[in-house]
Structure 1
Amino acid sequence: MPASTDEITVTRNDDERRYEIHVGDVLAGFTTFRPDSEGRLRFPHTEVDPAFRGRGLAQAVVGEAMADSARRGETVVPHCPVVAKYIREHDVPGLSVVWPDLPHPE
């Protein structure tokens, strides 16, 4: 596993429809998004490589994804439990959220 001093960066990858978190040059995890028919971003899944777990990377990638979505004026629909928990526990200024009726529709 890379040293804890490696730089952590989060980027939006529109081609893959996900926000990615890198530790140094290594992809350590991501949260995916899918635009729906109303232009909202559904967030169905977040994943962190087991080698990087326990470092708060899921919270970091989701946090930046929510902040970036707010800056872009996008509305998010949190289907992923990690995303839903983050939104419930953190204030994200300007974030527009539509809560789903079902926990994980695809």
Structure 2
Amino acid sequence: MPEPQLTVRRNDERSRYEIDVDGVLGGYADFEQVSPGLVRFPETVIDPAFREKGVGTLLVDEALRDAAARGQTVIPLCPFVRHFLREHEVPGLNVQWPPAVGEA
């Protein structure tokens, strides 16, 4: 079975990064521009058909690399994005960690 064709793109109209799996939308990572140079990632959604196949990891990796290339600071609100950042380094990315739940 051939490897699926995965393509990540930034969709500014919908304020999200999207990943296509063989031409089908496999998921997206929403972003919110807080101010120039500051962006929040509140949610990542992966189609259940593509979970546990590395689709979300590739999506978030590409999205964060793009944010780094744009010189943006990222606020990771999404649990998936937070977990990714704890496990992987994204060269040049500035991260502004949100307070932990229960912190002021």
* C-alpha distance in 1 between matches for 2:37 and 2:68: 14
Q: Deviations over 1:66-106 (max 9, x none)?
A: 11100110110000010011111111110011011255xxx
In the other structure, the counterpart of 2:82 is 84
Paired residues in the alignment total 101
Q: Give 5+ residue unaligned stretches, structure 1.
A: none
**Of 46, 52, 64, the match for 1:48:** 46
On the 8 A contact 2:31/2:42 being kept in 1, the answer is yes
Runs of 4+ in 1 over 4 A off after TM superposition: none
Q: CA RMSD in A?
A: 1.5
* C-alpha distance in 1 between matches for 2:20 and 2:67: 19
SS at match of 1:36: strand
Q: Deviations over 1:16-45 (max 9, x none)?
A: 000000011100001000011464110000
Q: Give 5+ residue unaligned stretches, structure 2.
A: none
* C-alpha distance in 2 between matches for 1:58 and 1:10: 10
* C-alpha distance in 1 between matches for 2:21 and 2:92: 28
TM-score between both structures, scaled by the size of structure 2: 0.90
SS at match of 2:25: strand
* C-alpha distance in 1 between matches for 2:36 and 2:5: 36
**Of 33, 36, 56, the match for 1:35:** 33
User: Kindly, what percent of the aligned residue pairs are identical?
Assistant: 49
